[in-house]
Amino acid sequence: MKSFTYKKTETTSMKAIGILDTDRMTIDVDGDEKSLATLLSDFNGGEIEINIKTKCEEDLEEPAENETE
C-alpha cells in the first residue's frame, strides 16, 4: 500500500550550554545566569521534546615513547 503525506512543519529550537542549577532552576552560560522559566516561556503550552546531554572531559598526559635498551 502506498502512502502520501503533504504537510508543512515549523520548528523553533533553543540551545543553551552551561552549568545547570536545579535548586535555583537556572543555567550559567559563561558567567551569565539565565532563568529556565524565562528561557522556556516562549514554549509554554506547546508540545515539546527535551534532550539533555552531559559531557565530561579530562586532560591526559601525553604518552611517552617506549624506550628499548
Distances (CA, A) of 27 to 4, 14, 34: 43, 13, 5
Q: Are 18 and 27 in contact (CB under 8 A)?
A: yes
At residue 69 the predicted structure's pLDDT band, cuts being 50, 70 and 90, is: low
Q: Is 39 exposed, middle or buried (0-12, 13-18, 19+ CB in 10 A)?
A: middle
Q: Is 4 domain-assigned?
A: no
Can you give the pLDDT at residue 39? 95
Report the C-alpha gap between 50 and 57 in whole angstroms.
23
Q: Is 11 domain-assigned?
A: no
Report the C-alpha gap between 27 and 38 in whole angstroms.
11
pTM of the model: 0.63
Q: Give the model confidence (pLDDT) of 9-55 as tens digits.
A: 999 999 999 999 999 999 999 999 999 999 999 999 999 999 999 98
Domain extent for 21? 16-42
Q: Is 3 domain-assigned?
A: no
Q: Is 52 domain-assigned?
A: no
Mean pLDDT, range 60-66, rounded to an integer: 90
Residue 35: phi and psi, rounded to 5, are -80, 130
